[in-house]
């Protein structure tokens, strides 16, 4: 518990006198946000040939998709495409099983990663005031559930 400046150093890190818990907390949250961005830990894992690429594929069939008010943004979505090198033909349905599997993998991975943040948040708040770990942890878990469900639904309804 932090009562004053004399207790600002972390008792867990006595060998590092300049490493206060405040710095440890700042470092943790920085890494917590930056790590998935640079590692792709929470990203969708595409299979080779899962989506149409003009450089690698030849479009066989497609349909027009429009977005926005009054269909302002329209474009073609490939339904079937052929690999220029191998001649193999692919469709969106060929990868439906992978999209479902990735949806659930992302749900578990995002929620689990969020739980790491929830535990740390609860611990950090309990250092400020005794007996608030479960209150802080519970609030963080509610936010984690909401974010995970939002990500799951956005993948579900965006065709992945």
Q: At residue 6, does pLDDT exceed 60?
A: no
Residues 116 and 142 in one domain: yes
Determine contact, residues 62/79, Cβ cutoff 8 Å: yes
Encode pLDDT of 49-63 as tens digits.
888 888 999 999 988
Determine contact, residues 108/95, Cβ cutoff 8 Å: no
Report if residue 51 sits inside a domain. no
User: Which pLDDT score is estimated for 4?
Assistant: 47
**Measuring CA to CA, how many Å separate 112 from each of 5, 44, 48, 118, 136?**
35, 16, 27, 10, 17
Averaged confidence pLDDT in the chain: 84
Residues 109 and 139 in one domain: yes
* Domain count across the chain: 2
Determine contact, residues 98/150, Cβ cutoff 8 Å: no
Average pLDDT in the 75-101 region? 89
The pTM for the full model equals: 0.69
Residues 101 and 135 in one domain: yes
Q: At residue 32, does pLDDT exceed 80?
A: yes
Higher pLDDT, 110 or 7: 110
Residues 105 and 140 in one domain: yes
Residues 74 and 130 in one domain: no
Average pLDDT in the 13-25 region? 70
Locate 43 and state its tokens: 């990203």
Range of the domain at 69: 57-91
User: Which pLDDT score is estimated for 70?
Assistant: 73
């Amino acid at each position: 518990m932090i009562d004053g400046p004399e207790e600002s150093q972390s008792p867990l890190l006595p060998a590092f006198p300049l490493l206060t818990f405040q710095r440890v907390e700042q470092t943790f949250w920085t890494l917590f946000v930056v790590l998935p961005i640079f590692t792709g830990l929470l990203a969708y894992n595409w299979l080779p040939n899962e989506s149409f690429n003009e450089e690698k594929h030849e479009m066989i069939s497609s349909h027009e998709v429009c977005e926005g008010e009054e269909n302002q943004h329209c474009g073609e979505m490939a339904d079937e495409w052929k690999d220029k090198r191998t001649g193999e033909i692919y469709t969106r349905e060929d990868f439906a099983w992978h999209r479902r599997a990735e949806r659930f993998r992302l749900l578990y991975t995002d929620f689990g990663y969020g739980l790491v943040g929830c535990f740390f948040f609860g611990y950090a708040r309990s250092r400020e005031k005794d007996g608030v770990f479960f209150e802080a942890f519970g609030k963080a878990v509610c936010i984690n559930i909401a974010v995970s469900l939002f990500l799951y639904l956005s993948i579900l309804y965006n065709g992945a």
